[in-house]
Amino acid sequence: MRILNVVGARPNFIKIAPFLHAAKKYRSLDMVLVHTGQHYDYNMSQVFFNDLCLPKPDIHLGIGSGSHAGQTGRIMMALDKAIERIKPSLVVVVGDVNSTLAGALVAAKLHIPIAHIEAGVRSFDKRMPEEVNRVVTDSVSDYLFAPSDTARRNLINEDASPANIFVVGNIMIDALKFYYRPTDFTGRHKLAPKGYAMVTLHRPANVDDKSVLSGIIKALIAISRDVPVFFPVHPRTRKQLDKFNLLKDIKRAGNIITSEPLGYIDSLNAIKNARLVLTDSGGVQEEAVAFRVPCLTLRQTTEWVETIGKGNSLAGNKPGLIIKLAQGILRKGVKVSSGASIPLWDGRASERMMGVISRRLSRS
């Protein structure tokens, strides 16, 4: 039984790794890996294949960047040919990126069953392209692998069939538990363990608007007066910082350390050793809470509602609130519950998913 796994962006690579590892126990399943090329920069793609010991993709579509519609359309056209050629029994898509939506739509039109890893995750903010991708992907999927009971309820409220919903846990925690190892990250970057704030920033709502991005940089500069700020800069963000002439403000601040995007292992070490994390990334929110590091999410909403009150807080993207919350944490501290206290954040989501797939396919 052939299973075609579609990946294309940094979060996909992290989540598919433990899934493919769990699949090794099932010798009757032939796992085919397709990389759409949505992320293609070395620091956003190949370094994750290296860190996660992922196999070389069986097919690389080489799509590249573009508008949401253009990128999704090109992926669909290329995937259509690949799926017709491979004739899989099941197509697996992961998370909420354009490659996920494209894979689900092509498989649905070809009448091939679809499994969605991270089904039912909702921010309820349809201004975010990821939210649109999640909702549409779930609407055509046959295996809805929900990370939590909250996600299950979201799917039920959208009239998904209960027979197709499987609450399996959070696959990001599988990856963290399986692949994390300590490195000399802090020494290489001349950072004191628990002596810096880490920030990641890439969402269009934060980086594509000059006034919003300027405000966030203003907040980081203020925070850097209390503690060094480590800022691995996403390619999209670097482009916008340059466009809006904000790089000079960062350099002038003197206590903001920028770097290229980090590989997976270094990213985990950067989060684990931070005193505070500021991010607009869903994955980084999960990882910070798992490591018991206080996190400020630079958005009005989050799809990972389970993390709120367990070390993660919504700070929005206005500088005043970001500075106030960050200074409160840095000066007074905050007690963070372990991510292990969240149900099914136990590193076994992949095993549960593979069990469901194996049983269902063997009966079909």
Nearest Cα to Cα of residue 4 among 35, 25, 26:
35
Angle (deg, nearest 10), helices 264-272 and 282-290: 50
Q: Which two tokens stand for residue 325?
A: 């919350």
Nearest-5° Cα angle at 39, 125 to 200: 55
Question: Per-residue DSSP letters for 62-85?
Answer: ------HHHHHHHHHHHHHHHHHH
Q: Is 189 a catalytic residue?
A: no
Helix segments in the chain, DSSP class H = 10-23, 46-51, 68-86, 98-109, 129-140, 149-157, 171-179, 185-188, 204-207, 210-223, 235-243, 247-253, 264-272, 282-290, 319-332, 349-363
Annotated catalytic residue, options 35, 60, 111, 202: 202
Angstrom CA distances, 13 to 41, 45, 334, stand at: 13, 8, 32
Task: Give catalytic residues, as residue numbers.
Answer: 202
